[in-house]
A and B are shown apart, each in its own frame.
Chain A
Amino acid sequence: GAGVSQTPSNKVTEKGKYVELRCDPISGHTALYWYRQSLGQGPEFLIYFQGTGAADDSGLPNDRFFAVRPEGSVSTLKIQRTERGDSAVYLCASSLLSGGTQYFGPGTRLLVL
């Protein structure tokens, strides 16, 4: 079956702009996770959804970052007033149930100029 998909695959923006990154989880997966991977580092947790609600947003670096999952399926990560330090690969993962194996998407590579 189809895996986790993320769009766009690449995004180039200017400092100060607003961006939205989209994640389509595996069909039927109730849990969805966002991670950020900087060059030379492992993925770092941002936020986790169980259904429509954010069960843990402790990894969001500041209030410029926000994520939604209004219908319990697709999720959008929103970044306001982007900064050069936001440049990274943003990864989405989903699992059938909370605590289950997380399956990762290909990521969105964000470059802030």
Chain B
Amino acid sequence: AQSVSQHNHHVILSEAASLELGCNYSYGGTVNLFWYVQYPGQHLQLLLKYFSGDPLVKGIKGFEAEFIKSKFSFNLRKPSVQWSDTAEYFCAVNPYSGAGSYQLTFGKGTKLSVIP
């Protein structure tokens, strides 16, 4: 079964610092990749997704992620974080299958705290 690893449990940054959250997955075939964000008191929201094409994906609020197939990675980045980015971030993977399920496998999440 596939698994998703998020390397950092809790990241603390000052405003304007750069962010990179790691995500690695274990699945040898074609995958669809997602980053979801959960702001305090809110539900999971899609930040960005990769299905195919350009491996550098841009999402909402200035976030981007790069799919590196050889490293089985899909790291999330933002050049300058804001206090409002304080949230929990989840990486998720869906193995592409023409006739299979579309379940998402999630990592354990990374809590980001941004200090004003």
**Chain A residues near B (Cβ < 8 Å):** 31, 33, 35, 40-45, 48, 55-56, 58-59, 91, 95, 98-99, 101-107
**CA A106 to CA B104, docked complex, whole Å:** 17
Known contacts A42-B106, A55-B101, A56-B103: A106-B49 contact under CB 8 Å: no
Point out the residues of chain B lying under 8 angstroms from A104, CB to CB.
36, 43-45
A-B contact pairs, 5 of them (CB 8 A): A33-B104, A42-B4, A45-B103, A91-B44, A104-B45
Which residue, A31, A42, A43, A101, has most C-beta atoms of chain B within 10 A? A42
With beta carbons under 8 angstroms apart, the residue of A59, A98, A105 that contacts B43 is A105
How many positions in chain B have a CB within 8 Å of any CB in the partner chain?
Answer: 23
- Whether A56 lies near B43 (C-beta < 8 A) is no
**CA A26 to CA B103, docked complex, whole Å:** 18
Point out the residues of chain A lying under 8 angstroms from B101, CB to CB.
48, 55-56, 58
Known contacts A101-B49, A104-B44: A33-B106 contact under CB 8 Å: no
- Per-residue CB proximity of B88-116 to A under 8 Å, as 1/0? 00101010000011111111110000000
- Whether B46 lies near A101 (C-beta < 8 A) is yes
Point out the residues of chain A lying under 8 angstroms from B105, CB to CB.
45
- Whether B43 lies near A42 (C-beta < 8 A) is no
Q: Which residue of B lies closest to A31 (CB)?
A: B102
With beta carbons under 8 angstroms apart, the residue of B46, B100, B108 that contacts A42 is B108
